[in-house]
Amino acid sequence: MEILLDILSWIFLVTGSFFCLTGALGLFRFPDFFSRIHAASLTDTLGASLILIGLMFQAGWGIVLAKLIMILFFSIFAGMTASHAMAKAALKSGLQPLEFKGKNEQGQEGEQPSKP
């Protein structure tokens, strides 16, 4: 039983760290602010949740488990709301999303907006 808990928590922790790392990579590589928010917030929230679930397996039954569940809920809410607030603030200051450059299937061309 101990080994099963250890293996499960290992899987969750490693997957969570992988998601966090790819989120950080996306922060660098994406061209536009909105796609960067998308990458960072989604993958970071998922990665943090997986890491917390992996820690829950190690905690055992007790007050630590309850605290970890509360931290999980709080970090999900706060992360999503923060990225929503950032995107809304960026839209309100006039930053437009990057449009598709090149031709799509109908042969229409997109355009490059102004980017700070």
Residues that bind another protein (CB under 8 A): 70, 74, 77-78, 81, 84-85, 88, 92
Residues 110 and 100: beta-carbon distance below 8 Å: yes
Task: Output 7 or 85, the one with its CB closest to another protein.
Answer: 85
The least distance separating another protein from the CB of residue 3, rounded to whole angstroms, comes to: 24
- Name the maximum alpha-carbon separation found in the chain: 61
Q: Which residues contact 50 (CB under 8 A, 6 or more apart)?
A: 12, 13, 15, 16, 19
The least distance separating another protein from the CB of residue 81, rounded to whole angstroms, comes to: 5
Task: Output 11 or 33, the one with its CB closest to another protein.
Answer: 33
Q: Which residues pair with 109 in a beta bridge?
A: 103
The least distance separating another protein from the CB of residue 33, rounded to whole angstroms, comes to: 14
